[in-house]
Amino acid sequence: MPRYNPKEVEPKWHDRWSSANAFETRDKDPKPKYYVLEMFPYPSGRIHIGHVRNYAMGDVIARYKRACGYNVLHPMGWDAFGMPAENAAMQTGAHPAQWTYGNIDIMRGQLKQMGLAFDWSREFATCDPDYYVHQQRLFLQFWDAGLAYRKESLVNWDPVDQTVLANEQVIDGKGWRSGAPVERRNLSQWFLKITDAAEDLLAALDDGRLSGWPDNVRLMQKNWIGKSKGLQMKFRFADGTKAPEGFDAGVEVFTTRPDTLYGASFIAISPDHPLAATMAQSDDKAAQFIAECASAGTSEEAIEKAEKRGYKLPLEIAHPLDDRRLPVYIANFVLIGYGTGAIFGCPAHDQRDLDFARKYDLPVPPVVLPEGAEASSFTIGAEAYTGPGTLFNSDFLDGMAIDEAIAAAIKKIETIGQGEGVTQYRLRDWGVSRQRYWGCPIPAIHCDACGIVPVPEKDLPVKLPDEADFSVPGNPLDRHPTWKHVPCPRCGNDARRETDTFDTFVDSSWYFARFASQPKDRPVDKQTADHWLPVDQYIGGIEHAILHLLYARYFSRAMKHCGYLSVDEPFANLFTQGMVVHETYLDSDDSKPLKERWLLPEDVVRKGDRIVNAQTGKPVIVGAIEKMSKSKKNVVSPEAIAETYGADAARWFMLSDSPPERDVEWTDSGVEGAWKLINRIWDAVSAAPGALKNVDLAKPGANNDDKPLRQITHAAIAGVTDDIEHFRFNKAIARIYEFLNALKKTNSASAAVSDWARAEALSALTRLIAPFTPHLAEECWETLGGEGFVCDAPWPKADPALLAKDEVVLGVQVNGKRRGE
């Protein structure tokens, strides 16, 4: 029997699918819609095995839903703006566009080789002017609607990539791409008002709108948005203290523990607080202290080790509820980015405040008494008391529990007109300006006379200049000789273009809508976009739990606000798949620097128990099993796999064994197992050519001896269906193995099985494997004599009558122990 030959079979079906436009989706179709989307790739050069896993999952869903009678939209495109293209330009001189589109061509070919059922007619790259012109339109609309604004503020500056980063893009105080410690700079930047949507973004996490999302992603977003309720109040300067200019009203403070107001012993403001700057103008020591704080690291360790430090200002604040006078400090542990950038210190019940108070010898009056403690003897030692208890030493709050006291304190402060109960969010507005060339230009013009003027609609798109100088760091748009010089659209005088481009996360915040509908003259056709949205199944990596997934949620709301869409939640169901990991190999020759010692999997060979360098024969150190990365060389190329075993084997293995949400370790024996299965299926099918032609499965044709095989067949159908529906691809695959094993046994053991039942089994098997190994399935379908493409064949249906088991084996338990069989 000839072995299955994917090298011939796979291209054959690619051609046939392509010439039949098998996967092109029409908007108007009487069937119910189903939109399945995988996070589109950045065209970095080549497809890696993680992409294969991601797209194989989406493809299973797409092909399965199609077989179930849905009109499936399954598009693909390119998240094509970004730093790597510019870095390549700096290193090799190739223009970012050339580099990017070249990569896209390669990767498109690789994806096609995988046999993924994409509707390629909707493909676009976010760097296409045809795409980003609409992004500029959207931005102008947002601006008009007050959702976008420009302001000077303290931002995260990445000194390596020479650009600003959003808060979400700073990980452990380092740039998410460059890994460089982020500096803080005061710059004028564009922002999108994501904070306006904070409450709704938060509410939707719990009110059922995102019931199709994993709990952990919802939780991460909830923590990121970080809602807390508290009291925002003014602390006025005490008699005898002259309020600095502009601060007549005092210092505004936010607290979640207004119950501890009587425990206040000092006021502390952030080094970045405006009052600190004002005081520093006439106080060199204050200025010096602020400068020291600014230069301190923001890394995890730096913060952990940083000692609480303060600088005492010559100011005094009056306690609002009693006659105490509180000192005012600039303190290094107070953040400008949260609340009001100023706090009242309550050392008895906050560890940081306590550390600070001990250092500067400030009073530590306790106001919350733990249950069982004596008011007369309760004191605070080295640890603040943050637990439950009853208020004391607190006038009208005495005797209340904490919650009760919080409410009472807020009410009191509101009554005396010095503050109000407020809700605070950790979430900051989304800074979208990037000082880079390879991004979507922000359509604004700076005019000395008119201020910041939007680019008129008729002048869109603002296209990137083709020529740019990448030989030195910095923003090539800003130093371009002519590009930024334009007349002001309002007064006609000389003006300057905005030279910042959008954060690339803006590009990926609405691409799913553009896939659904791409009219020439506007971002989307509302009716068509509404038809397709929300995405029914979105699949991607957990690393986007906060970044992309939060931005896209906001963008949908903004687009809805401006009348482009009707949905606020773009992704009805989300699945976050695990990574593909692989062993790392380190050459034992330690004379070379570490980063040159990593070896590719293909450069090592197993010799018995040992692993050695294939070239030198020297032993190799087997390192940790990690996410595949170029730097550690623990990568395998999907092309090489497809070359050896075919795309189907790669797809099958990526989905077998490990649950899809978990990491999967790439092993050569795993792919070989997949290859073995493909041949076993092919053997079973090719032994029965024309099996579907000889019988009519639409009419009953089974005899009494067929029942065992039919029960196995229908159990497989029911099981695989249920497993796919629940994203349990590993189990679906296990069931297909069981089915095949049972089928083979039947073939050899019982000649009594009718052709009809055998055809039924083979037909079901072929259709069940079709979402996983589509080329093999088509080849089988053709061999069996099935009609048309198997990708157009309906999903098999399990007959409930055949699912009931005739016999049940009962375990006998005596006193909870199993006895007998």
Residues in region 719-748 near RNA by CB under 7 A? 728, 730-731, 733-734, 737-738, 741, 744
Q: How far is CA 278 from CA 271, 337, 562, in A?
A: 11, 18, 41
Output the smallest distance, CB 747 to RNA, in A: 10
Which of 674, 771, 789 lies closest to 60, judged by CA?
A: 771
For every residue of 76-95, DSSP letters joined together read: --B---SHHHHHHHHHH---
Output the smallest distance, CB 766 to RNA, in A: 18
Q: Which is nearer to RNA, 576 or 783 (CB)?
A: 576
Site residues for RNA, window 75-134 (CB under 7 A)?
none
Distance of CA 659 to the CA centre of its chain: 19
Output the smallest distance, CB 395 to RNA, in A: 20
Site residues for RNA, window 40-79 (CB under 7 A)?
none
Pick from 304, 371, 609, 806 the residue near RNA by CB under 7 A. 304
Q: Which is nearer to RNA, 498 or 648 (CB)?
A: 648
Which of 160, 131, 185 lies closest to 502, judged by CA?
A: 131
Output the smallest distance, CB 731 to RNA, in A: 5
Pick from 145, 249, 335, 621 the residue near RNA by CB under 7 A. 335
Question: 3-state class of 793 per DSSP?
Answer: coil
Q: Which two tokens stand for residue 769?
A: 């494997």
Site residues for RNA, window 409-438 (CB under 7 A)?
426
Inter-residue contact 116 to 55 (CB < 8 Å): yes
Pick from 659, 701, 708, 785 the residue near RNA by CB under 7 A. 659
Q: Which is nearer to RNA, 220 or 611 (CB)?
A: 220
Q: Which two tokens stand for residue 658?
A: 């490990």
Q: Which two tokens stand for residue 561?
A: 């606000």
**In the beta sheet, which residues pair with residue 231?**
255, 421
Output the smallest distance, CB 534 to RNA, in A: 24
Q: For RNA, which stretch binds (CB under 7 A), given 31-39, 561-569, 582-590, 657-665?
A: 657-665
Which of 44, 110, 52 lies closest to 579, judged by CA?
A: 52
Pick from 333, 511, 772, 795 the residue near RNA by CB under 7 A. 333
| Residue 514 neighbours by CB under 8 Å, 6+ apart | 124, 131, 134, 523, 524
Neighbours of 608 (CB within 10 A): 6
Inter-residue contact 87 to 48 (CB < 8 Å): no
Number of residues that bind RNA (CB under 7 A): 73
Q: Which is nearer to RNA, 283 or 663 (CB)?
A: 663
Q: How far is CA 379 from CA 37, 91, 366, 376, in A?
A: 60, 64, 7, 9
177 counts as binding RNA under rule CB under 7 A: no
Output the smallest distance, CB 319 to RNA, in A: 16
Pick from 433, 658, 763, 773 the residue near RNA by CB under 7 A. 658
Output the smallest distance, CB 377 to RNA, in A: 26
Which of 247, 244, 219, 216 lies closest to 234, judged by CA?
A: 247
Q: For RNA, which stretch binds (CB under 7 A), given 14-22, 299-307, 591-599, 611-619?
A: 299-307
| Residue 213 neighbours by CB under 8 Å, 6+ apart | 205, 571, 573, 574
657 counts as binding RNA under rule CB under 7 A: yes
Distance CA 528, CA 517 (A): 6
Output the smallest distance, CB 70 to RNA, in A: 25
Torsion of CA 380, 383, 386, 389, to 10 degrees: -30
Inter-residue contact 633 to 586 (CB < 8 Å): no
Q: Which is nearer to RNA, 801 or 809 (CB)?
A: 809
Pick from 57, 343, 462, 724 the residue near RNA by CB under 7 A. 343
Distance CA 36, CA 571 (A): 10
Distance CA 473, CA 637 (A): 33
Output the smallest distance, CB 362 to RNA, in A: 15
Distance CA 284, CA 291 (A): 10
Site residues for RNA, window 672-701 (CB under 7 A)?
672-673, 676, 679-680
Inter-residue contact 452 to 152 (CB < 8 Å): no
Q: Which is nearer to RNA, 25 or 332 (CB)?
A: 332
Q: For RNA, which stretch binds (CB under 7 A), given 140-148, 302-310, 694-702, 776-784?
A: 302-310
Output the smallest distance, CB 674 to RNA, in A: 8
Site residues for RNA, window 515-544 (CB under 7 A)?
542
Q: Where are the alpha helices (DSSP H) in 68-197?
A: 83-92, 96-113, 129-144
Pick from 332, 390, 418, 711 the residue near RNA by CB under 7 A. 332
Output the smallest distance, CB 46 to RNA, in A: 25
Distance CA 470, CA 473 (A): 7
Q: Which is nearer to RNA, 138 or 655 (CB)?
A: 655
290 counts as binding RNA under rule CB under 7 A: no
Q: Which is nearer to RNA, 69 or 226 (CB)?
A: 226
Q: Which is nearer to RNA, 297 or 314 (CB)?
A: 297
Pick from 179, 314, 337, 451 the residue near RNA by CB under 7 A. 337
Q: For RNA, which stretch binds (CB under 7 A), given 52-60, 77-85, 430-438, 667-675?
A: 667-675
809 counts as binding RNA under rule CB under 7 A: yes
Distance CA 329, CA 306 (A): 17
Pick from 90, 306, 586, 612 the residue near RNA by CB under 7 A. 306
Inter-residue contact 543 to 169 (CB < 8 Å): no
Neighbours of 528 (CB within 10 A): 16
Pick from 284, 371, 521, 821 the residue near RNA by CB under 7 A. 821
Q: What is the CA radius of gyration of the chain?
A: 33
Output the smallest distance, CB 266 to RNA, in A: 12
473 CB burial (10 A radius; 0-12, 13-18, 19+): exposed
Cis preceding linkage at 365, omega within 30: no
| Residue 100 neighbours by CB under 8 Å, 6+ apart | 43, 78, 80, 85, 125, 127, 438
383 counts as binding RNA under rule CB under 7 A: no
Q: Which is nearer to RNA, 505 or 532 (CB)?
A: 505
Pick from 300, 420, 448, 590 the residue near RNA by CB under 7 A. 300
Q: Which is nearer to RNA, 488 or 732 (CB)?
A: 732
Site residues for RNA, window 546-575 (CB under 7 A)?
546
Q: For RNA, which stretch binds (CB under 7 A), given 26-34, 57-65, 295-303, 320-328?
A: 295-303
Q: Which is nearer to RNA, 250 or 523 (CB)?
A: 250
Q: Which is nearer to RNA, 381 or 816 (CB)?
A: 816
Site residues for RNA, window 344-373 (CB under 7 A)?
346, 350, 352
Pick from 372, 481, 593, 816 the residue near RNA by CB under 7 A. 816
Cα-flanking dihedrals φ and ψ of residue 607, to 5°?
Answer: -120, 100
Q: Strand 537-541 and strand 574-577: pairing?
A: parallel
Pick from 577, 656, 713, 766 the residue near RNA by CB under 7 A. 656
Q: Of all residues in the chain, what percent are helix, strand and coil, respectively (each to 5)?
A: 40, 20, 40
Site residues for RNA, window 230-269 (CB under 7 A)?
230, 254-257
| Residue 376 neighbours by CB under 8 Å, 6+ apart | none
Pick from 5, 188, 216, 281 the residue near RNA by CB under 7 A. 216
Inter-residue contact 394 to 405 (CB < 8 Å): yes
171 counts as binding RNA under rule CB under 7 A: yes
Pick from 82, 96, 320, 341 the residue near RNA by CB under 7 A. 341
4 counts as binding RNA under rule CB under 7 A: no
Pick from 41, 339, 431, 771 the residue near RNA by CB under 7 A. 339
From start to end of 19-67, where are the E strands?
Answer: 33-38
